[in-house]
Amino acid sequence: FGHLELAGWSIALSGVADIMDGRVSRATGKTSVYGDFIDSTLDRYIEAAMFIGMVYFYGSKGPGAMLAIAALASSLIVSYARARGEVHGVNCTGGLMQRGERLALLSLLLLAGRAIDHLMHRPAGTVLMIGVAVIAATSLYTAIYRTVWIARELRRQDKP
C-alpha cells in the first residue's frame, strides 16, 4: 500500500524471528520433521507475499510488476530444486541468491530505497525496481545452478 519502510521492517523482523526459532528449537533439542516442514512452507508463503505486494505496489503491469513476478518465480524454483534434491539424498545449498540474501537485500531496499530515489531525483520505487531485477537475475542463476548441479549428481549416482 506504499508503506515501503514498514514492509522493510516487517521483512527484517520476520527474518530475525525465523532465525531465532530455528536456533531455539535446535538448542532445546525440540526439532522435528513437522517443524521443519512448517518452517520451510511458511517461508515460501512469506516470500510469495513479499513479491505479490510488490506487484500490487507497481501495478498489475509494467516492468516493476514483471520483475517482481520473475523474482518470485525464480526464488520459488531455488527452494524447490533444493527440496527435490534433498528428497533424493542430494543436498545443494550453493548459488548467488539464497533466501537469506533475498530477504536482506529486499529489506534494505525497502528501508533505504525511497531516500535514495529522492536524493537521485527518481520516482519512488526506482531503486527497489533495480534491486528486484538483481534478485530476479541472481535467483534465476541460482535456480539454474542448483538444477544442473543436482541433476549431474543424481546422474553420477545412477551410473553403476
Residue 158 has pLDDT above 80, yes or no: yes
pTM of the predicted structure, to 2 decimals? 0.83
Other CB atoms within 10 A of residue 86 CB: 13
Map residue 2 onto helix, strand or coil.
coil
| Mean pLDDT (whole number) for 124-147 | 92
Give the residue from 93, 92, 157, 104 showing the smallest Cα distance to 134: 104
Residue 109 has pLDDT above 80, yes or no: yes
Catalytic residue positions, numbered: 43
- Long-range pairs of 115-121 with CB within 8 A, sequence gap ≥ 24: none
| Mean pLDDT (whole number) for 105-122 | 90
| Mean pLDDT (whole number) for 74-80 | 92
Query: CB of 102 within 8 A of CB of 46?
Result: no
Give CA torsion, residues 119, 15, 17, 93, to 10 deg: -160
The pLDDT value given to residue 153: 93
Residue 61 has pLDDT above 90, yes or no: no
Sign of CA dihedral 45, 50, 53, 59: negative
C-alpha cell at 40: 520451510
Query: CB of 94 within 8 A of CB of 145?
Result: yes
pLDDT band at 144; cut points 50, 70, 90:
very high
The pLDDT value given to residue 62: 82
The CA distances from residue 125 to 25, 51, 58, 62, 70, in Å, are 38, 14, 8, 13, 17
| Mean pLDDT (whole number) for 13-35 | 84
The pLDDT value given to residue 85: 93
Residues written for the chain? 160
